Structure 1
Amino acid sequence: MTKQEFVNAIAADSGLSKADTEKALNAITETIKNTLAQGESVQLVGFGTFSISERAARTGRNPQTGKEIQIAAKKVAKFKPGKALDESIN
């Protein structure tokens, strides 16, 4: 599902205009992004939790040449589905 298809589906379910729905969706994604950038997690009960995890530096291998390369440490975003979401999928 693309972002526009997502906006259309939310607008149809909520009765909001597509413009208002897109503004709300953009506000939600920006808020989640800014909260994660501050090192905090976002928990939506019944849906899931967005959090930040630190990935340690490691040695990798270039698949074309076989040469070893150093992969820098970095932070990555994680999502853990909540119980209700997990049960609705399975």
Structure 2
Amino acid sequence: MTKSQLIEALAKAEGITLKAAETAVNVTFQSMEQALIRSDRLEIRGFGSFKVKNYEGYKGRNPKTGELIEVESKKLPFFKVGKELKERVNGGISEE
């Protein structure tokens, strides 16, 4: 599902305009993004949680040349699926 498909689904489900649905989706994603930028943990019950993981730097190799390179430390968003969603995906819980 793309962002535009999500907007269309929201507009149809709630009987609102595409513009209102687009605003709601954008505000939701922007709020999630800001929380992750602050390194806050973000939890959506029944769906999963997002957090920022810190990765230490290390020495690696350039795959083309074999040259040793220093890979800098970094932060990356990490998603952990919730139990309920995992069960739904695996067919354990039917939608109501």
TM over 0.5: yes
Show CA shifts across 1:32-87 (max 9, x none): 11111112111111011011110110112111111111110011101111111111
Identity of matched residues, %: 33
* Structure 2 partner of 1:14: 14
- Aligned residue pairs total 90
Structure 2: 5+ residue stretches without partners = 91-96
> How far does residue 2 in structure 1 lie from its aligned partner after superposition?
2.0
TM superposition score normalised by structure 1:
0.91
* Structure 1 partner of 2:43: 43
Q: Relative to structure 2, which stretch is displaced further, 9-18 or 74-83?
A: 9-18
> How far does residue 15 in structure 1 lie from its aligned partner after superposition?
2.0
Counterpart-to-counterpart distance in 2, 1:14 and 1:48 = 23
> Following superposition, which runs of at least 4 residues in structure 1 exceed 6 angstroms of deviation?
none
Counterpart-to-counterpart distance in 2, 1:27 and 1:62 = 40
> How far does residue 16 in structure 1 lie from its aligned partner after superposition?
2.1
> How far does residue 12 in structure 1 lie from its aligned partner after superposition?
2.0
**Residue type of the alignment partner of 1:33:** E
> How far does residue 10 in structure 1 lie from its aligned partner after superposition?
2.2
Counterpart-to-counterpart distance in 1, 2:15 and 2:86 = 27
* Structure 1 partner of 2:73: 73
TM superposition score normalised by structure 2:
0.86
What SS does structure 1 have at the residue aligned with 2:10?
helix
* Structure 1 partner of 2:31: 31
> How far does residue 13 in structure 1 lie from its aligned partner after superposition?
2.3
